[in-house]
Amino acid sequence: MDPRPNPYPHLAALEAMYRAGPIHALIPSRLALADGRACIEADLCDRYHHAAGAVHGAVYFKLLDEAAFFAAATLEQRFFLQTASFTTYFTRPVVDGCVRTQGRVLSRNGNQFVAEAIIEDEKGEELGRGSGLFLRSAVPLGKVDGYRA
């Protein structure tokens, strides 16, 4: 992941919007964007475990949904997108370490975007994947907390 600020105004504004989300106080992560793509990294530990000692599926879902969402959002410069549906597949448990989630847009049709994401551990082993449908909302990006174009 490139630690330098994004030189593209819309992508930099999306990254700022991501950082402004209060959820990131609970599950800290880092986002990097390119057109039609997103990468999220997070350092996981026992704080995110379920009772059986592995990372809870809610953390997987959060990272997968956000990577796919932000990949789609890179292609929409006027309005906030909303997740209409998202399917998640858990393929392997993880206990701790840095995970990387890569999202990419598969298709765009008018106000609809289909995007997928894959989450991997430090060794590059797949932990899960998901895909979703994202719709353009009526909310202008300029009215969303943290978005600064």
Identify which of 109, 110, 101 has the alpha carbon closest to the alpha carbon of residue 131: 101
Going by CATH, does the domain composed of 9-141 fall within 3.10.129.10? yes
| 23-35 pLDDT, tens digit each | 999 999 999 999 9
Among 59, 63, 61, 71, residue whose Cα is nearest residue 114: 71
- Cα 60 from chain centroid (whole Å): 10
Rounded CA gap, 19 and 6, in Å?
Answer: 13
pLDDT tens sequence across 75-130: 999 999 999 999 999 999 999 999 999 999 999 999 999 999 999 999 999 999 99
Could you tell me the two tokens for 96?
């701790």
